[in-house]
Amino acid sequence: MLDIKLIRTQPELVKENIKKKFQFEKLALVDEVAALHAEFREAHTRADYLRSQRNSISKSIGALMGRGQKEEAEAAKQQVNDMAEEMARLSVREDELSVEIRRRMLVIPNIIDPSVPIGKDDSENVEVERFGEATVPEFEIPYHVDIMERFKGIDLDAARKVSGNGFYYLCGDIALLQSAILAYARDFMVDRGFTYYIPPFMIRSGVVDGVMSFSEMEGMMYKIEGEDLYLIGTSEHSMIGKFIDTFLEENELPQTLTSYSPCFRKEVGAHGIEERGVYRIHQFEKQEMIVVCKPEESMQWFDTLLKNTIEFFRSLDIPVRSLECCSGDLADLKVKSMDVEAWSPRQQKYFEVGSCSNLGDAQARRLGIRVKNKETGNYFPHTLNNTVVAPPRMLIAFLENNLRADGSVAIPVALRPYFRNKAEIK
């Protein structure tokens, strides 16, 4: 959510940003917010004036009565009553205006960073750099479910009977492999100075509004019927929510956190969740990294978070590339975002395995997260997040890139201590 002062003082800048995101239907919101806020300020000013006048007149009533000026005193009482009624009406109107302003402000997109390429959708995202050699072996690589089934490591049919499409049972070595990858990811981040968390897996609607846009929520979140609770789509939601309505000491920054959680997503509009695949599913596990920092440090942390994911995948012998998300592909709260994509030798192309995002002060502003500073005044910190790893999508990349001609799967050295010290899966 933007600072209201920006909309009042630089409306054309806000409109130009909306145009860069190709959300032309939102242009009218800028003028609407400015007009509503002007009315709000007028009502607020009038209420303050009436309050001061009422207090002054109220004090004079006793003196008038003491001097025997009953008619004047009664007139003053009526004036005070009239002012009270008008103040009550103004208070109601201020509340109404606040709701209308916030409703519009929540859908006006954040100001994107100047480095973000301009484009309409993900087809115009820009490749930045590749890491590792993207090779295609001479032998044929089976579909990822077929690889898992050879090891008796997945049961989609049973999951479909129990839960429907988009769910799975992992078992045996494949289940152990997923757990090993998550445990390795945990230690990988802890070794980099991040504090490990296991957060709540459900959050209230007030936190949902603070961490994401309404359109994202509608397409992602599962609502718990009869309760003000939603299943999280990523642990970032509850981790940022942890700081709601708090004042942080400046010496407590940066907050560097890494969290494990299951994730639940409706995947609305996903165009057919595959019956025999685990690329796009309703339930998965993830290790996340989150940073809350000073505004001037956020871009440096953005680079660090991105580097962490790239180094993690490279330590498991998986080639990756970084991809700059264009303006039209950025969620409304994001200032800048880069995807990490892993190489699929079977498909001979890269596919998304993580997303690194800088949200500026948007989440902090929505959730009321502030930093104390006596010299320059309190301010909103910046928040960032990035995926360390999200099996089972990552399993696809792992199995394809570590598959051997004889059907076995090599276990990279870094992962072996977490996988019963085994060098391969046969």
The reported pLDDT for the residue numbered 343 is 97
pLDDT single digits (tens) 258-313: 999 999 998 765 555 455 688 888 999 999 999 999 999 999 999 999 999 999 99
Q: How far apart are CA 416 and CA 32, in angstroms?
A: 59
Per-residue pLDDT of the chain (426 residues; tens, 9 = 90+): 899 999 999 999 999 999 999 999 999 999 999 999 999 999 999 999 998 888 888 778 777 777 778 788 878 788 888 888 999 999 999 999 999 999 999 999 999 999 999 999 999 999 999 999 999 999 999 999 999 999 999 999 999 999 998 899 999 999 999 999 999 999 999 999 999 999 999 999 999 989 987 667 777 899 999 999 999 999 999 999 999 999 999 999 999 999 999 999 987 655 554 556 888 889 999 999 999 999 999 999 999 999 999 999 999 999 999 999 999 999 999 999 999 999 999 999 999 999 999 999 999 999 999 999 988 899 999 999 999 999 988 999 999 999 999 999 999 999 999 999 999 999
The reported pLDDT for the residue numbered 276 is 65
- State the DSSP code for 26: G
Cβ proximity of 372 and 378 under 8 Å:
yes
Tell me whether the CATH fold assigned to 4-105 matches the one assigned to 122-425: no
Cβ proximity of 241 and 207 under 8 Å:
yes
Q: Where are any strands of DSSP class E within 163-231?
A: 169-170, 195-197, 202-203, 222-223, 230-231
CATH code reported for the domain at 4-105 = 1.10.287.40
The reported pLDDT for the residue numbered 376 is 87
Q: How far apart are CA 266 and CA 396, in angstroms?
A: 21
Looking only at the bridges linking them, the beta strands covering 255-264 and 195-197 are parallel
Domain boundaries, the chain: 4-105, 122-425
For domain 122-425, the CATH class is alpha beta
The reported pLDDT for the residue numbered 410 is 97
Adjacent-strand bridge partners of 287: 260, 389
